[in-house]
């Protein structure tokens, strides 16, 4: 039986994948326009989520099971800015596919983590500032 934390995360990520796929039915106006005044667009938000998923897979999960220290996280504002730019410059369908692919890969990695590992506590530095 899945650990309840793991189970909740897997269910959440699967629902998120389904929801992001559903964004393909909306026109490009809703995709590229801010969701509210002075907020990001759906394109920027989804790109941002995909970028952080990739970061977690590359710079966090591998270190959970090693003796190596976690690498410092990126400078958050710059990381988010770059992700938003990518979202604005990528076609809607391509960004959605990229998000789905990355999130599915993240799920595979999460699902491969032994049950006993889910109850451990970790301390991670997210930036050098």
pLDDT tens across 71-99, in order? 888 999 999 999 999 999 999 999 999 99
Residue 41: phi and psi, rounded to 5, are: -85, 170
> What pLDDT does 46 receive?
98
- What is this structure's pTM? 0.85
Give the SS3 label for residue 41.
strand
Q: What is the pLDDT of residue 67?
A: 79
Question: What are 5's two structure tokens?
Answer: 């934390």
| pLDDT tens per residue across span 110-125 | 888 877 777 766 666 5
Question: CA of 29: how far to CAs of 33, 50, 66, in Å?
Answer: 6, 21, 45
């Amino acid at each position: 039986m899945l650990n309840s934390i793991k189970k909740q995360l897997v269910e959440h990520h699967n629902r998120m994948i389904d929801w992001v796929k559903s964004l393909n039915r909306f026109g490009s106006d809703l995709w590229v326009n801010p969701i509210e005044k002075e907020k990001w667009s759906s394109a920027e938000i989804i790109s941002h989520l995909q970028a952080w998923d990739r970061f977690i897979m590359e710079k966090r999960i591998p270190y959970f099971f090693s003796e190596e220290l976690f690498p410092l996280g990126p400078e958050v504002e710059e990381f988010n800015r770059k992700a938003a730019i990518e979202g604005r410059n990528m076609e809607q369908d391509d960004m959605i596919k990229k998000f789905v692919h990355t999130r599915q890969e993240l799920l595979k990695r999460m699902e491969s983590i032994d049950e006993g590992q889910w109850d451990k506590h970790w301390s991670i530095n997210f930036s050098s500032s």
